[in-house]
Amino acid sequence: MHAAHVASSSSALSQAATRAEPSYSPFAEALSRLRKNKTAVAGFFIIVLFLAMAILAPVLAPHDPLKQSLYEKLKPPVWQHGGSWAHVLGTDDFGRDLLSRLIYGARISMVVGVVSVSIAFFFGTLAGSVAGFYGGVLDNGIMRFMDLLLAFPSILLAIVIVAFLGPSLQNAMIAIGVVSIPRYARLVRGSVLEEYAKDYVQAARALGAGDGRLIFLHILPNCLAPLIVQTTLGFASAILEAAALSFLGLGAQPPTPEWGAMLANGRALILRAWWAVTFPGLMILFSVLGFNLLGDGLRDALDPRLRE
């Protein structure tokens, strides 16, 4: 009887311990791994800094980014001889405050990233889902068109699209979104093919789920992990390609305070006013670096092969 009581107590304690063990969801587990990745955390804080800069640009900018003053043109940064606290990072050849233009440039770059990635995400996901789900001739047709787009260097194809539509920031965002569609389409198609072969899809079909419900409510939610990573890395590519188009005169037009356009404007001044080129380049560098670091961290955190 005593042994039975001990066994019963042991069983109760075991059940209590089991109930006390925390149950982690896949999202919580991925978030925990992401927090342990120091480079990903650093990338996250860089992105937050640029987002705060973009949102609070009217508050943070000490001057109007478009205001010109020929009496103050090519002022050096405050720590150099001839600099002043009125223009901490100096001025450009039109006397515009460089710090204010850099801060407003963050707003433009973030908008470029959001619009371009949204275009690529929507159309790429739609094309990849249809190709992977239906297969056959439709799959071959869609993916061969994507292969045709991938046959051109992305920046070259973007230049062709902008040259056709006309140079402007809006057309540059459209071009960057279009050239990024194949990346999402190929990624989604592979994920859909993998998920389509699983039992839960066949079970949902047996219960009467239609094609649209199967794709958007059952299959695509299980393809989000690689899409999140691609979207984060896509922001970095969009910012870089927008800066390249603006540098070539095909993106943002003067006097828009866009980092690539500022680089192009300061190119002729590199020997006389190094700050007009250096600081816009550093803004591009750190913004792209932040998204790349976070994207790599998300890839490691969301990869099921790395789960313990």
CATH number for the domain spanning 146: value is 1.10.3720.10
Beta bridge mates, 84:
87
Residues 6+ apart with CB under 8 A from 57: 103, 104, 106, 107
User: 70 lies in a domain?
Assistant: no
Instruction: Show the domain range for 233.
Output: 46-63+96-306
Query: Per-residue pLDDT tens for 91-149?
Result: 998 999 999 999 999 999 999 999 999 999 999 999 999 999 998 899 999 999 999 99
Total domains in the fold of the chain: 1
Q: CA 205 → CA 11, 132, 197, distances in Å?
A: 42, 16, 12
- Residue pair 271/114 in contact by the 8 Å Cβ criterion: no
User: 2 lies in a domain?
Assistant: no
User: 197 lies in a domain?
Assistant: yes
User: Residues 123, 225, 292, 33: what is their CA dihedral angle, to the nearest 10 degrees?
Assistant: 170
For 4, the token pair is 């039975």
For 94, the token pair is 């039109």
For 180, the token pair is 């990024």
Task: Identify which of 229, 257, 248, 233 has the alpha carbon closest to the alpha carbon of residue 53.
Answer: 257
| 3 state DSSP class of 249 | coil
User: 14 lies in a domain?
Assistant: no
Largest CA distance in the chain: 100
- Identify residue 5 by its one-letter amino acid code: H
Query: Per-residue pLDDT tens for 43-93?
Result: 999 999 999 999 999 999 999 999 998 888 889 998 888 888 889 999 998
pLDDT confidence of residue 20? 43
The model's pTM:
0.84
User: 39 lies in a domain?
Assistant: no
User: 290 lies in a domain?
Assistant: yes
| 3 state DSSP class of 76 | coil
In a 13 Å sphere around the CA of 75, the CA atoms on its Cβ side amount to 25
